[in-house]
Every structure is written in C-alpha cells, then in structure tokens.
C-alpha cells in the first residue's frame, strides 16, 4: 500500500488488487467481445465503419496508442448507490436510491464491463456514492489495483473517484477551498475536486477528477467559480511539477463556449483535448434530444506531458454507456521526459 500525503477535509482510502482468476476471466471475455464486435457479430472490415445495428463505441474507429502513452478516461457512472439508506429517505421519489443486492450487483457488473472495454490506464469516475461502490467496481477490475474515492461525507452524496493501473503516491483534496461567484458571493466545490499523483513507470502523472454543479436547481455562478478555481489549482500543480503530465477531467455540466468552459480555456494554458475532433463525435449527453458535450478532458500546457493528437474519443452505446446516461470520454497522453 503506498504512503499517503493527504491535505483537506478527511483521509481517503485505497484498495488493493484482487485475485488472478478475475483477470483471467476478464481477458477471455474481452477477447471474445473483441472478436465478435459490439453486437455479437463480426466487426466491419474497415476502421471507422459502423456495426450493422449502429456505431461501435463512437463509430469512428479506435485511436492507435503510441508506445509509452497513458490512456486516461472520464466516466460519470450515473448514481451508483449502495444498499444502505444513509439519509433515512430512500427509494421512490427520494433522491437516494436503495437498490437491492441483486440490483446493485447488476449495475456494478454493467459498469465494470464498460470500464474494462475502455482499455484505459486511469479512469476518473463521477457519481459513486460510497467506498462500497468503488470497492465493488474494483473487485471486478483487477487491472486497476489502485483506487481512491473523494468522499465528502454527506449523506447520499455521489462522489468522484479514480481507478488506476499505476501506484498512487499522494492525494490532495480541495473541497475546503473558498470560491467566489462572479457576484462576489462565496461558495465551494459541489463535490470533491480530487488531485491524485501517480507513479507511471518512474514518471509523474497528476490527474484531477471533477464533477461541477449540475444544472438542476441551477447555480451557474457556482459552476463558473468551480471552473475558475479548478484552472488555478491545476496550473499551480503543473508549475510545481513541470516535468509531469497533468490532466483534469470529468462531468463539468457545461458545453464548449459556456462561461465555465471558457474560464478553463482562458489563455490556452489548459487545452480541451476534444477540440481536434469533429463536434458531432464529441457529445456525451442527450438532453431532450439535444446532444451536448459536458464531459471533458483537459491537459496542462505548462507541464511537460502532452496530448496525443486525434486520440480523443467519446464512447457510447446509443446515448449513454454501460447503463449510464453519459458517454465515457478517453484520450491518450505522453508523460513528460
């Protein structure tokens, strides 16, 4: 178990790898799916073609991974609640869901299968209620022996987390930070803004898992404050580690051209990596028939790590992925020298 350096509200927990039998089963299953294609039939011959029943993933082929690259994904798993009612108000029209054990296991199975097929090295998660949910995902994903949850310790909170194939060396929390809306009022991050440092074969990689304020009961000033503060935090981390790869991602609940996304992209020091892909291939959420890109990946340009051009993908099955109402996003990055 790696040593932890934690700053912020509370310590965060890590979970180790589980047995080799899970890995063998996943490898066999993954090979079978890879041979059959997205709907159980042989895949099209030409890269980028569509399966007979619709697109495979995002429908435009898989990026070729350069040697030495790191694939980072962001995925809102959509309300992964455990089987304990923490709020005392669960089920029906209440916010906190209370799945049965079978329902919980079925959701975890769908999500873990989808995560495994991303072929990522690091996955930034959103909407995991408790450590029990993260543990359950990790138990089915032995390729990710390292994990951390950004638990904010509020009843029925859906939190961010990170799954990693590489050792975690330290974790920094930022939700305690005071933020300022454009009108001058104070706020804070809606969820943890989770900073995780990784040792990738001797090279430093820093990832930030984010989930900004949702548009239900909207507070756009809060989302702008989150974006502005996140940019400063990420840029400061990159300045302290100029030889690192520094990536931020997650469900930011806003689209390119909005004030929060513009705040992140200010001066070009944070690069939204989907910008080099066609807009009709980068959307991640279907809101009343409107396809929106609200899940994003950014790389810090003031550190040495770089984005592999053209590698961004939004991975979907219809409108969502793995039973979630969000697509997953992923891209390849080269660590610093």
- Please give, one letter per residue, the 3-state secondary structure of 187-204: ECCCCCCEEEEEEECCEE
pLDDT band at 64 (very low <50, low <70, confident <90, very high): confident
At 169-187, the pLDDT tens digits run: 999 999 999 999 999 999 9
Sign of CA dihedral 231, 232, 236, 239: positive
Instruction: Select from 293, 307, 291 the least CA-distant residue to 258.
Output: 293
**Which pLDDT belongs to residue 60?**
56
What's residue 62's pLDDT? 77
Helix locations, the chain, DSSP H: 20-36, 101-117, 131-139, 220-240, 259-265
Confidence of residue 114 (pLDDT cuts 50, 70, 90): very high
pLDDT at res. 6:
38
Percent with pLDDT over 70 in the chain = 82
In this structure, the strands spanning 159-164 and 146-150 are antiparallel
> CA 122 from chain center: how many Å?
8
Q: Which of 8-12, 125-129, 165-169 has the lowest mean pLDDT?
A: 8-12
Q: Indicate the fold that domain 20-41+69-334 takes in CATH.
A: Deoxyribonuclease I; Chain A (3.60.10)
pLDDT bucket at 134, cuts 50 / 70 / 90: very high
SS3 for 227-240 is: HHHHHHHHHHHHHH
- CA angle 277–280–281, rounded 5-degree value: 55
Give me 257's structure tokens.
Answer: 């051209």
Locate 147 and state its tokens. 């994990």
The domain segmentation of the chain, as residue ranges, is 20-41+69-334
pLDDT confidence tier of residue 269, bands split at 50, 70 and 90: very high
What does pTM read for this prediction? 0.84
**At a CB cut-off of 8 Å and minimum separation 6, what does 319 contact?**
285, 286, 325, 327
Q: What is the pLDDT of residues 188-197, one digit of tens each?
A: 999 999 999 9
């Amino acid at each position: 178990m790696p040593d932890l350096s934690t700053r912020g509200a509370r310590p965060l927990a890590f979970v180790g790898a589980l047995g080799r039998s899970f890995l063998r089963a996943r490898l066999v299953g993954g090979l079978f799916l890879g041979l059959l294609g997205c709907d159980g039939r042989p895949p099209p011959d030409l890269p980028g073609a569509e399966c007979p029943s619709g697109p495979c993933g995002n429908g435009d082929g898989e990026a070729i991974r350069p040697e030495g690259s790191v694939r980072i994904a962001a995925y809102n798993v959509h309300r992964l609640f455990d089987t304990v009612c923490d709020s005392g108000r669960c089920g029906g029209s209440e916010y906190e869901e209370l799945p049965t054990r079978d329902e919980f296991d079925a959701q975890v199975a769908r999500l873990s299968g989808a995560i495994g097929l991303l072929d990522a090295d690091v996955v930034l998660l959103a909407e995991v209620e408790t450590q029990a949910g993260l543990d359950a995902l990790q138990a089915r994903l032995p390729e990710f022996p390292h994990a951390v949850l950004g638990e904010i310790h509020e009843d029925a909170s859906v939190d961010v987390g990170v799954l990693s194939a590489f050792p975690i060396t330290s974790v920094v929390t930022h939700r305690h930070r005071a933020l300022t809306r454009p009108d001058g009022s104070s706020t804070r991050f809606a969820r943890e803004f989770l900073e995780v440092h990784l040792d990738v074969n001797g090279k430093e990689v820093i990832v930030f898992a984010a989930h900004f304020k949702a548009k239900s009961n909207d507070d756009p000033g809060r989302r702008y404050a989150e974006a502005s503060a996140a940019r400063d935090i990420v840029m400061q981390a990159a300045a302290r580690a100029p030889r690192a790869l520094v990536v931020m991602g997650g469900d930011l609940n806003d689209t390119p051209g909005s004030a929060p996304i513009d705040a992140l992209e200010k001066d070009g020091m944070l690069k939204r990596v989907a910008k080099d892909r066609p807009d009709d291939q980068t959307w991640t959420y279907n809101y009343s028939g409107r396809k929106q890109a609200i899940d994003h990946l950014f790389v810090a340009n003031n550190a040495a790590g770089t984005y592999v051009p053209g590698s961004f993908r939004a991975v979907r099955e219809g409108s969502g992925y793995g039973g979630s109402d969000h697509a997953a996003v992923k891209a390849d990055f080269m660590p610093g020298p």
